[in-house]
Amino acid sequence: GQQVMQIPQYQHVQEGEDFTTYCNSSTTLSNIQWYKQRPGGHPVFLIQLVKSGEVKKQKRLTFQFGEAKKNSSLHITATQTTDVGTYFCAGKLNSGYSTLTFGKGTMLLVSP
Amino acid sequence: NAGVTQTPKFQVLKTGQSMTLQCAQDMNHEYMSWYRQDPGMGLRLIHYSVGAGITDQGEVPNGYNVSRSTTEDFPLRLLSAAPSQTSVYFCASSYIQGVIPSPLHFGNGTRLTVT
């Protein structure tokens, strides 16, 4: 069925290095949402992108939505140990009201 | 403001037992949903509801029932627990505002083990 693919599954970086996770869909998305889940916690909403080519920033985090609205990325500049967790993207695949489809997530580990 | 409250936090069941996972939200959200999270599988939608009296199946509905008698509550029932249902279960809710989904608010989760 229709899916939202997310890569990589896992990344281990040294504190201060940059990190990027990518989200791809075979069909056009109405929107893309990003969530962060700390170890042992629950997913927490970070941001939503709706417009083609949209770019939003939250401090060291930069979110992009592709021109074709089929892909998205989350880039973290100069990672910190507080960035540890799993990052999920989620998008609505069909027209009309329907549910969000989540990617499988990228687990980020940051070593001090 | 409690947000989304799930109970219990932990549960151990024997194969064949039944139980209900509770979910309540105090934000007057129309949309409520249940996800299960398994290692390497991300979040998979079990059932969802867009309002009281309305429920629908998600990606992995087999073995689970739901009902939505009030706006606030959305319980998930396991009819006859199986080891394959060992997982972490999250309830999530949001407003419904047009065709663009609103951000989901998640509960703290229920960790279920079926032996």
DSSP character string of A101-112:
EE---EEEEEE-
Tens digit of pLDDT for each residue in A25-56?
988 999 999 999 999 999 999 999 999 999 99
pLDDT at A87: 98
B100 pLDDT higher than 90: no
pLDDT of residue A7: 96
- Cβ pair B50, B29 in contact under 8 A: no
Residue numbers of A between 41 and 100 with CB closer than 8 Å to B? 41-45, 48, 50, 88, 90, 92, 95-97, 99-100
* A50 to chain B: closest CA residue: B100
Q: What is the average per-residue pLDDT within B79-100?
A: 93
Q: Which residues pair with B48 in a beta bridge?
A: B33, B56
pLDDT at A95: 56
Mean pLDDT taken over chain B: 94
Contact in structure between B49 and B66 (CB atoms under 8 Å): yes
Q: Which tens digits make up the pLDDT trace of B5-50?
A: 999 999 999 999 999 999 999 999 999 999 999 988 889 999 999 9
The answer to whether A105 contacts B42, with C-beta atoms less than 8 Å apart, is: yes
CB-based contacts of B24: which residues, under 8 Å, 6+ apart? B2, B4, B5, B72, B73, B74
User: Which whole number is the average pLDDT over B38-67?
Assistant: 93
% of chain A beyond a pLDDT of 70:
94
What is the predicted pLDDT for the residue at A72?
98
Q: Is the pLDDT of residue A96 over 60?
A: no
* Facing residue for B106 by CB, picked from A31, A42, A48: A42
Q: Are strands B87-94 and A106-111 parallel, antiparallel or unpaired?
A: unpaired
> Average pLDDT in the B95-105 region?
87
Structure tokens at B36: 């299960």
Q: Which residues, 6 or more positions from A35, have their beta carbon under 8 angstroms from its beta carbon?
A: A43, A44, A45, A46, A87, A88, A89, A90, B104
Which tokens go with B91?
């309830």
Torsion of CA A98, B46, A107, B22, to 10 degrees: 110
